Amino acid sequence: MVPWYWYALAGFVDSIGNYLIIKAYQFSSITSVTLLACWTIPWVIILTWIFIGTRYSIGQFVGSAICIGGLALVFLSDANESGSGGRNPILGDVLVLGGTIGFALSNVGEEFCVKKRDRVEYIAMLAVFGLIVTMCAII
């Protein structure tokens, strides 16, 4: 059985991840936010490898490294941008990076919980606790 606090934690990090990504649109361009949201994939690979013990091939690590290199180029282009992409592109990029960490933690938590229980239960509980977190943020 999965304790309720795992669901609460997953709902919290997923909601915060969504908030940070949405907030990043105020500071950076839509292109940068969309591309940098792909950081979720390398984070999930790293976190599942560390915490769940998922095994990946060398090719998957090489592909992830290429992805990270491309995303680093997006950071560099935003650092040299002359203001056409938003008010503060670096802040927007950092917010996206924080949001992707939240998404990755949520995805790894999902994989952990689904291995122990039903996926329908996980999605329902994620929705319930995500709603609670979001309602608290609105108030």
**For residue 82, what pLDDT is reported?**
57
Average pLDDT over residues 103-123: 87
pLDDT at position 83 is 56
Answer yes or no: are the C-beta atoms of 21 and 99 closer than 8 Å: yes
Residue 38 near residue 67, CB atoms below 8 Å: yes
Residue 139: CB partners within 8 Å, gap ≥ 6?
none
pLDDT computed for residue 101 by the predictor = 95
Compute the distance between CA of residue 107 and CA of residue 41 in angstroms, rounded to an integer.
10
Do the beta carbons of residue 38 and residue 124 sit within 8 Å? Answer: no
Evaluate if residue 21 carries a pLDDT over 70.
yes
Do 95 and 27 form a contact (C-beta atoms < 8 A)? yes
Question: Residue 23 pLDDT more than 70?
Answer: yes
**pLDDT given for residue 84 in this prediction:** 59
- Residue 78, both tokens: 């935003």
Domains of the chain, residue spans: 4-81+92-138
The tokens 């990755």 sit on which residue? 104
The token pair at 113 is: 């919980």
Residue 1 clears pLDDT 80, i.e. is over it: no
* Residue-wise pLDDT tens digits, 39-98: 898 999 999 999 999 999 999 989 889 988 988 888 888 877 655 567 888 899 999 999
